[in-house]
């Protein structure tokens, strides 16, 4: 499911729940030509995983079923005929309009004014027909959109769309109006791409004499291109389906939190929300019409906040498959490693990169040892590494507590704070400016042999550098 569709579902869910309303799932499958095997399952899976639990729907029933439009097929003809009788719709025998796309191609209104005799003759001859909406030729149709405000459209710009196809199946444009009325839908929330169709829906409500629902159109979601410009969010910007984001290791609650902010601004400065907080704080007044820009960095930050809040046991279980440490020395140290990672990743798939240095020592620049804040130079680093190697070579207890005690003891002996002592150690162990965890964590994770090997290699690297300098 494209995150734009999920955002629409989320806003509908949040609005319904914030008003003590009901969130109804209806499957709109009248365009059988576009039917995709498995697509309905994706809808169920996505809504459930994202926590958008419907109160009524095909799987659980409710007062207004059936909730699958193709199963309601027999209900629509009556309403289409009602409009024909009222002069608001007409039979069209042009044998065009059975495909959903036909309604977008415009229609020359050939059958709009057929005589009663012509119609009856055609019917008697068994000619197939569709029923089209008779759009007023002049005047305007207006409504007050709860996000976009007052909107007025000239009726002359609208086409006589097909309502009922020749096989009796309604078009989406007709079925959604009839069903929204029959199901007592009060608020319609959808993407702004439907703004242009809305007058046709309103004219149908007027023709029936039904009360119109409130309309809430949501701003489009853009993505940022490499050159800084923006365009409609698509695959070239990154993963755009809920499923793909989940596969990359984003949490459903992180994705939901982030997409809630695409077009909606909370009243407070709060940015991290659980679903119940979203429900209590959501309001249509906070929805704006300016396009939203999908920002993967912000998504990562929001998701990282959610990851840092989940139960550590759950994190250990869910993050492990992403770590790819099976059969390595890190497997037995996952508890420790997971505790370091939980607050330091944006998504689960960040894990391999974060821990790669533990599995294989990267090449690094000797100047990483030089650090102003820790008063670390190549000379001081060499001296510290020598002492640490000597001390740890005879270290029997390789527990974190014992390592901390040993390092603290050495720092005290050298008249140093722990930071300046551990800087060169951490660099020699990781070859990185920043690591998940400090020197003691990494000493522990690597184990004695590998840790001492890396410390000696670090010392050798500094020694090489000094030789070069002397030349
Ligand atoms: Zn026609």
What pLDDT digit, counting tens, does each position of 406-433 carry?
999 999 998 999 999 999 999 999 999 9
Whether the pLDDT of residue 457 is over 90: the answer is: yes
% the chain with pLDDT above 70 = 97
**What is the Cα–Cα distance from 99 to 162, expressed in whole angstroms?**
9
Whether the pLDDT of residue 105 is over 90: the answer is: no
**What is the Cα–Cα distance from 392 to 74, expressed in whole angstroms?**
82
Q: How many angstroms does the Cα of residue 178 sit away from the middle of ligand 1?
A: 23
Q: How far is CA 196 from CA 89, 124, 157, in A?
A: 20, 37, 10
Q: How many angstroms does the Cα of residue 105 sit away from the middle of ligand 1?
A: 13
Q: How many angstroms does the Cα of residue 114 sit away from the middle of ligand 1?
A: 9
Q: How many angstroms does the Cα of residue 415 sit away from the middle of ligand 1?
A: 95
Q: How many angstroms does the Cα of residue 163 sit away from the middle of ligand 1?
A: 13
**What is the Cα–Cα distance from 187 to 185, expressed in whole angstroms?**
6
Residues 6+ apart with CB under 8 A from 251: 303, 306, 307, 310
Residues labelled catalytic: 235
pLDDT-wise least confident of 228-237, 248-257, 322-331: 228-237
pLDDT-wise least confident of 99-113, 190-204, 214-228, 266-280: 99-113
Q: Specify whether the backbone of 47 is left (phi greater than 0), alpha (psi in -120 to 50) or beta.
A: alpha
Q: Which residues are near ligand 1, the ion (C-beta closer than 5 Å)?
A: 92, 94, 110-111
Predicted TM-score (pTM) of the model is 0.89
Q: How many angstroms does the Cα of residue 92 sit away from the middle of ligand 1?
A: 4
Q: How many angstroms does the Cα of residue 90 sit away from the middle of ligand 1?
A: 9
Whether the pLDDT of residue 464 is over 60: the answer is: yes
Question: What digits encode the pLDDT tens for the residues 123-146?
Answer: 999 999 999 999 999 999 999 999
Q: How many angstroms does the Cα of residue 110 sit away from the middle of ligand 1?
A: 5
Question: What digits encode the pLDDT tens for the residues 366-382?
Answer: 999 999 998 999 999 99
């Amino acid at each position: 499911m494209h995150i734009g569709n999920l955002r629409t579902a989320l806003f509908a869910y949040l609005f319904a729940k914030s008003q003590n309303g009901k969130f109804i799932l209806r499957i709109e499958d009248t365009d059988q030509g576009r039917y995709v095997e498995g697509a309905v399952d994706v809808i169920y899976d996505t809504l459930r995983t994202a926590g958008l639990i419907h109160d009524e729907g095909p799987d659980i029933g409710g007062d207004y079923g059936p909730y699958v439009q193709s199963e309601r097929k027999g209900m629509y003809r009556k309403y289409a005929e009602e409009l024909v009788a009222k002069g608001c719709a007409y039979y069209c025998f042009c044998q065009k309009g059975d495909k959903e796309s036909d309604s977008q191609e415009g229609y020359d209104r050939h059958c709009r004014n057929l005589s009663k005799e012509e119609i009856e003759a055609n019917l008697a001859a068994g000619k197939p027909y569709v029923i089209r909406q008779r759009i007023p030729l002049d005047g305007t149709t207006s409504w007050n959109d709860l996000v976009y405000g007052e909107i007025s459209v000239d009726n002359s710009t609208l086409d006589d769309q097909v309502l009922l196809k020749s096989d009796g199946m309604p078009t989406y444009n007709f079925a959604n109006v009839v069903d929204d009325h029959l199901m007592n839908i009060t608020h319609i929330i959808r993407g702004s791409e439907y703004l242009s169709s809305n007058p046709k829906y309103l004219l149908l409500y007027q023709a029936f004499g039904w009360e119109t629902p409130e309309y809430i159109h949501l701003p489009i979601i853009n993505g940022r291109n490499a050159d800084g410009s923006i365009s409609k969010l698509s695959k070239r910007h990154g993963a755009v389906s809920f499923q793909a984001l989940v596969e990359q290791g984003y949490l459903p609650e992180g994705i939901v939190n982030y997409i809630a902010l695409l077009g909606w601004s909370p009243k407070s400065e709060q940015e991290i929300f659980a679903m119940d907080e979203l429900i209590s704080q959501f309001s249509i007044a906070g929805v704006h019409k300016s396009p939203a820009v999908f920002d993967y960095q912000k998504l990562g930050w929001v998701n990282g906040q959610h990851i840092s809040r989940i139960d550590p046991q759950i994190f250990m279980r869910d993050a492990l498959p992403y770590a790819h440490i099976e059969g390595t020395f890190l497997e037995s140290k996952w508890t420790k490693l997971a505790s370091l990672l939980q607050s330091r990743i944006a998504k689960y798939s960040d894990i391999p990169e974060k821990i790669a240095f533990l599995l294989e020592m990267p090449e690094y620049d000797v100047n990483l040892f030089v650090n102003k804040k820790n008063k670390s130079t190549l000379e001081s680093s060499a001296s510290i590494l020598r002492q640490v190697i000597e001390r740890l070579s005879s270290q029997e207890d390789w527990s974190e507590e014992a390592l901390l005690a040993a390092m603290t003891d050495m720092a005290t002996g050298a008249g140093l704070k722990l930071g300046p002592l551990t800087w060169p150690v951490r660099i020699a162990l990781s070859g990185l400016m920043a690591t998940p965890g400090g020197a003691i964590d990494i000493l522990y994770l690597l184990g004695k042999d590998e840790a001492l090997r890396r410390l000696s290699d670090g010392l050798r690297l500094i020694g090489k550098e000094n030789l070069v300098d002397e030349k």
